[in-house]
């Protein structure tokens, strides 16, 4: 019987899902959390396990070399940079990820960030419950500029499935959509006009990031590219934190060049207390939860189990190495 260990299962399944799919495939051990930095703990918990499932716990070359029983590494996420995929390849260990599971959830969340910036619904609801409407001399009040999106232009950088989902929702709100992607496709042309990055920066009232993190996209949003944007642009990012040079964005928020930012990701997670965006004006930050609706996590679980079943059958799927 295969030995299966899940090193950090809590964020995927805090108790509202079931690990039964994995339990049916072998002897399962689930840890809610494993140290991200204690190599000895990671190696000890893997031990003589055949199948390692991780979300954010790193699987380094040292770990792979110290645990010769590993036959398979599954990642409970789309991103797989926590695994040394080359070291795994050298040992003929497939590394399998979950390529699509949260498309609708992440697109919905991007728009939720935008709508919160436009209306500050949470703030105004809290104000009502604090008694401010009851005490108001007028029949209504608002503490922030309220923004209508219809007729404005959204520029989407990275126009794959999530970018296109975001674009469809924004288009339904009456927005004009422009997009930049290294690989334009026909489906995208039905939603957006493909433009160069330079044109996107110049035209967009709202810019939403949905591109992967590669060396060429790291720091894509920086002082120079922000200077090319419209004054008062709104920036959204629920893709990858390092796409943004955070010091430069904080400066632009504080100067008003960028009107507001809605972020679900930052460069180092969990966020550090010295992150400059924590003190920037008009910046909404949520704790990387775009992916986390139960429906989305259930799909992730099903694909993770399916990946392992395919490996056991000798035909591994979603192999990234």
Indicate which residues carry an active-site annotation: 240, 269, 288
Instruction: Provide the terminal-to-terminal Cα distance of the chain, rounded to the nearest Å.
Output: 25
Give the span between the Cα atoms of 305 and 60, in whole angstroms: 23
Q: CB of 205 within 8 A of CB of 177?
A: no
Q: Tokens representing 276?
A: 């400059």
C-alpha distance from residue 88 to each of 46, 47, 95, 153 (Å): 15, 16, 7, 44
Query: Cα dist. 275→13, 208, 280 in Å?
Result: 29, 21, 10
- Check: CB of residue 203 under 8 Å from CB of residue 195: yes
CA 155 to chain centre: 18
């Amino acid at each position: 019987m295969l030995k299966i260990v899940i090193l950090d299962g809590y964020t995927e399944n805090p108790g509202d899902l079931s690990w039964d799919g994995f339990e049916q495939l072998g002897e399962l051990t689930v840890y809610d959390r494993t140290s991200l930095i204690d190599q000895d703990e990671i190696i000890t918990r893997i031990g003589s396990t055949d199948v390692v499932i991780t979300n954010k716990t790193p699987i380094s070359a040292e770990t792979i070399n110290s645990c010769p029983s590993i036959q398979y590494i599954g990642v409970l996420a789309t991103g797989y940079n926590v695994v040394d995929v080359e070291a795994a390849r050298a040992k003929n260990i497939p590394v399998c990820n979950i390529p699509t599971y949260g498309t609708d959830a992440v697109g919905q969340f991007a728009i939720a960030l935008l709508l919160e910036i436009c209306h500050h619904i949470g703030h105004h609801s809290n104000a009502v419950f604090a008694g401010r409407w009851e005490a108001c001399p007028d029949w209504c009040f608002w503490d922030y500029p309220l923004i209508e999106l219809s007729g404005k232009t959204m520029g989407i950088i990275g126009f794959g499935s999530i970018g296109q989902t975001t674009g469809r929702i924004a288009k339904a709100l009456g927005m004009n959509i422009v997009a930049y992607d290294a690989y334009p496709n026909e489906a995208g042309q039905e939603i957006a006009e493909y433009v160069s990055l330079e044109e996107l920066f110049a035209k967009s009232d709202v810019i939403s990031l949905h591109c992967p993190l590669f060396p060429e996209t790291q720091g894509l949003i920086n002082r120079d590219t922000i200077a090319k944007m419209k004054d008062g642009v709104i920036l959204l990012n629920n893709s990858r934190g390092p796409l943004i040079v955070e010091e430069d964005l904080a400066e632009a928020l504080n100067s008003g060049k960028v009107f507001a930012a809605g972020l679900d990701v930052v460069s180092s997670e969990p966020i550090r207390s010295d992150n400059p965006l924590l003190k920037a004006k008009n910046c909404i930050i949520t704790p990387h939860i775009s992916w986390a609706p139960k429906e989305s996590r259930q799909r992730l679980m099903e694909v993770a189990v399916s990946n392992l079943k395919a490996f056991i059958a000798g035909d591994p799927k979603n192999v990234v190495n």
